[in-house]
Copies of this chain bind each other. A is one copy, B any other.
Amino acid sequence: MRKGDSMTKIIIDALGSDEGPEMVGEALKLALEERDFSAVFVGPKDIYAKYFSSENRVSLIEATEYIANTDSPARAIRRKKDASVVLGLEALNESGDVFLTAGSTGALLAGAYFITRRIEGIQRACLGATIPNPSGGTILVDTGANADTTPSMLYEFAILGSSFAEHTLHRKNPRVGLLNIGTEEGKGDKRTQEAYELLKESPLNFVGNVEARELLSGSCDVLVTDGFVGNVALKSLEGTAKTLFSRIKTGIYSSLRTKIGGMLLKPVFAGLSKDYNYQEHGGAPLLGTRKALFKAHGNSSTKTFRLAILEALEYGENFDEEEIIQQLKEIHDGKSSN
């Protein structure tokens, strides 16, 4: 939560990304040139010294250990007391607006459960990814935090996604859709059918079933689904865009004629590539936690991680646990009065 006029404070886990702590140092330096905020660098002392010895907005929490993707997250978060994600989340609990990591998603999730805790009444935290579209983006929840969900969990994802869309993406009365394999009521698997009933009765602005074909159309602000399905939908989108761009590129380089064509169309491709290359998007919030947590891609480049820092700051500044609790309460009240 924003504290009056003081600078927003971000805690950054410098370990666990594919690129290592140097990348994080560079990205943070770039972000600080662009915006004024304070940061805690959780990582190796030498990297901190290299980038921030004369930068008084950045402080250090020394860490050399981290939780790898191959570790069992729940066990590691309780045993590896000196891991960067543990030290970072503890620092966030003490003082800070948002935490950012490009490390293990499992570790972040376990840390959210054991260190920062979930919001009262929320069964599961979920990952939201913003899908680019002409309406400014749809937040897809969950994109991979939970692979086995129940209808009531999907309902909670809808509440959390709606709150994020309203406060961080600044949408009025966000339209909530349910990812399904047909638009008619009664379509889909049992879980989705039951979630439909819950959403239909809720005070959320539920617009019904939405097919994966509509992911990029912007027909809703929030698209709710299970973490397994959401992850598949997102990666299918990313993989398709990547393959198409790569095939266009190969086609362009195939002859002089097409090379000239490619040159003339450069502005068109540049805009598209920015929207559909997930490396151009910073990351995703972990919703449902008592503190603002943000996940950057494990293979983030300096450019992407810099963007993730800016996005995380935006999320941290607009995050208000009390407001979400109030919304949950209103929804429960709304439901009981129906």
Contacts and interface: CB of A to CB of B under 8 A. Distances in A.
A194 B43 CA distance: 38
Given A144-B181, A233-B233, A268 B252 contact: yes
A237 B244 CA distance: 11
B231 A212 contact: yes
Contact of A264 (B184, B189, B234, B257): B257
A256 to B, nearest CB: 10
Interface string A175-194: 00001010010001110100
Interface stretch (A1-9, A152-160, A214-222, A282-290): A214-222
B147 A231 contact: no
A54 interface: no
Given A189-B148, A264-B257, A264-B260, A244 B228 contact: no
Most buried by B among A236, A244, A248: A236
Given A144-B181, A244-B244, A271 B257 contact: no
Interface string A224-257: 0111110111111111111110011001101001
A258 B248 contact: no
Interface residues of A, number: 56
A238 to B, nearest CB: 6
Copies, count? 2
B268 A232 contact: no
Nearest to A233: B236
B272 A267 contact: no
A106 to B, nearest CB: 10
Nearest to A271: B251
A20 interface: no
Contacts of A238: 213
A211 interface: yes
A84 to B, nearest CB: 22
A136 interface: no
A235 B261 contact: no
Given A148-B190, A268-B251, A272-B251, A215 B228 contact: no
B229 A214 contact: no
Interface of A: 70, 144, 147-148, 179, 181, 184, 188-190, 192, 211-217, 225-229, 231-244, 247-248, 251-252, 254, 257-258, 260-265, 267-269, 271-272, 276
29 contacts: A147-B190, A181-B227, A181-B228, A189-B226, A189-B228, A212-B233, A212-B235, A213-B235, A213-B239, A225-B232, A229-B229, A234-B236, A236-B236, A237-B240, A241-B244, A244-B276, A247-B272, A248-B265, A248-B269, A251-B265, A252-B265, A252-B268, A258-B264, A258-B267, A261-B261, A261-B268, A262-B265, A264-B264, A265-B265
